[in-house]
Amino acid sequence: MPAPAVTRPAWDSQAAIYLHIPFCKTKCRYCSFNSHAGREEEIAGYLAALNTHIRRLAGHPWSRSHSFFSLYIGGGTPTICDPALLGQVIRNCLTAFSFCPEPEITVESNPNTLSPAKLQALRECGVNRLSIGVQSFSPAQLKSLGRSHTAEDAVLAFAMAREAGFANINLDLMYGLPGLTAEGWQQTLEQAVSLAPEHFSLYELMVEEKTPLAALVAGGKVRLPSEDEVADMEAVTSGLLAGRGYERYEISNYARPGFTCRHNINYWQNRSWLALGAGAVGSLSGMKVTNVADPLVYAQRMSSNQEPYSEMECLSRPAHFRETVIMGLRMLEGVSIRELEERFQLSPLTYYGDTLQALLAQGLVVLDDGFLRLSSQALPVANQVLAQLV
């Protein structure tokens, strides 16, 4: 007698795919991402390696037992690539893996790497979401960050994207920049809102070790805003965006109704995604897989039929559970206690015991209709609150 079919919940049978393009025109002063400037001659070979990786991973039993609802091409600057070659990678991916109907397909870009022809080529291969790294509309701020584009480039890029038919556009902006005031931030945000994108990712500038910015800060050549000034900028953000129809759904992300980012929600829910490309980190049912960071080494490994991984870590069930709680609390809806119990056979209420009770008593965490979430009072100090649940 055949075994009865086992129905797997959607969270166990669906996943996302991330492709990393580690090349940029220039290196921004604050950037610690795996991105390389001045290595454009490697791009074609690297994209060929990605195609090899796609073919290999698509045949893996894990991939064959999942369907995919999102493809996200990030960087670096993916739009630095020849659109025909990048389009081929995207098409290969969509053909090789089993995708759900109407997947979200996002490409990250920088304003001065877009053209009508490039945007049209992306639309033709199915890209339906564009993320533009604008960061600021202030010429002085863009210069201090070492960005290679101007505010005018950003406005033009946005107009070209609309003209090409992109109906789902995210703008990345940064606050807490050297010399930035709450008034200056409000001007940048007002200009961004006037373009009417569907989504905003708004991140505070972090000074990462070994970046040129870190050296400037350490040498006293650059002054960062104080904590109070940053808090004023955050107050400007929530006040301004809420009044213009954007809902905050994650600590740093805002969207118009219907335009939250499915790829990133999957990440914050700590579910599964495949990662292809140099330095990319995937998570397969709780196993973290990291690819070698250098694009040349990655390409060599692909062409010589070697594995691309530099590290694999299988999280214990409690470690995976804790990570899921912390990531999930970044979203304003919080985490579902029932879902956590279903996935991990652990309840946050018993697992965290007195620590969680204290956060509830202080009003920093709220238990509401089966969901645990950060209170509005906790959002400005989210990192300190989440650190107690690590």
Closest distance to ligand SF4 from the beta carbon of 172 (Å)? 9
Interacting residue with ligand SF4 among 17, 35, 46, 329 (CB under 6 A): 35
Interaction mask 132-151, ligand SF4, x per CB under 6 A: -x------------------
Residues near 158 by beta carbon (within 8 Å), at least 6 away in sequence: 132, 169, 171, 195, 197
Interacting residue with ligand SF4 among 16, 21, 28, 161 (CB under 6 A): 28
Q: What span, in angstroms and rounded, lies between the C-alpha atoms of 303 and 292?
A: 14
DSSP secondary structure code for residue 164 in this structure? T
Question: Is residue 170 involved in binding ligand SF4 (CB under 6 A)?
Answer: no
Residues near 64 by beta carbon (within 8 Å), at least 6 away in sequence: 58, 98
Closest distance to ligand SF4 from the beta carbon of 146 (Å)? 8
Exposed / middle / buried, residue 197 (Cβ in 10 Å: 0-12, 13-18, 19+): buried
C-alpha R_g of the chain: 21
Q: What span, in angstroms and rounded, lies between the C-alpha atoms of 84 and 87?
A: 5
Give 210 or 220: the residue with its C-beta nearer to ligand SF4.
Answer: 210
Interacting residue with ligand SF4 among 51, 63, 70, 77 (CB under 6 A): 77
Closest distance to ligand SF4 from the beta carbon of 38 (Å)? 11
For residues 233 and 175, the answer to whether their CB atoms sit within 8 Å is yes
DSSP secondary structure code for residue 331 in this structure? B
Q: What span, in angstroms and rounded, lies between the C-alpha atoms of 16 and 280?
A: 13
Closest distance to ligand SF4 from the beta carbon of 255 (Å)? 21
> By CB under 6 A, which span of 20-28, 88-96, 150-158, 368-376 interacts with ligand SF4?
20-28
Question: Is residue 33 involved in binding ligand SF4 (CB under 6 A)?
Answer: yes
Question: Is residue 27 involved in binding ligand SF4 (CB under 6 A)?
Answer: yes
Question: Is residue 201 involved in binding ligand SF4 (CB under 6 A)?
Answer: no
Question: Is residue 277 involved in binding ligand SF4 (CB under 6 A)?
Answer: no
Closest distance to ligand SF4 from the beta carbon of 148 (Å)? 8
> 3-class DSSP state for residue 232?
helix
154 is written with which tokens? Answer: 């950003």
Question: Is residue 24 involved in binding ligand SF4 (CB under 6 A)?
Answer: yes
Q: How many Cβ atoms from other residues are within 10 Å of residue 293's Cβ?
A: 14
Interaction mask 99-128, ligand SF4, x per CB under 6 A: -----------x------------------
Give 75 or 178: the residue with its C-beta nearer to ligand SF4.
Answer: 75
Q: What span, in angstroms and rounded, lies between the C-alpha atoms of 101 and 69?
A: 8
Q: What stretch of H or E contains 379?
A: none
Give 31 or 119: the residue with its C-beta nearer to ligand SF4.
Answer: 31
Question: Is residue 76 involved in binding ligand SF4 (CB under 6 A)?
Answer: yes
Closest distance to ligand SF4 from the beta carbon of 199 (Å)? 18
Give 29 or 320: the residue with its C-beta nearer to ligand SF4.
Answer: 29
Q: What stretch of H or E contains 256?
A: none
> 3-class DSSP state for residue 212?
helix
Residues that bind ligand SF4 (CB under 6 A): 24, 27-28, 31, 33, 35, 75-77, 110, 133
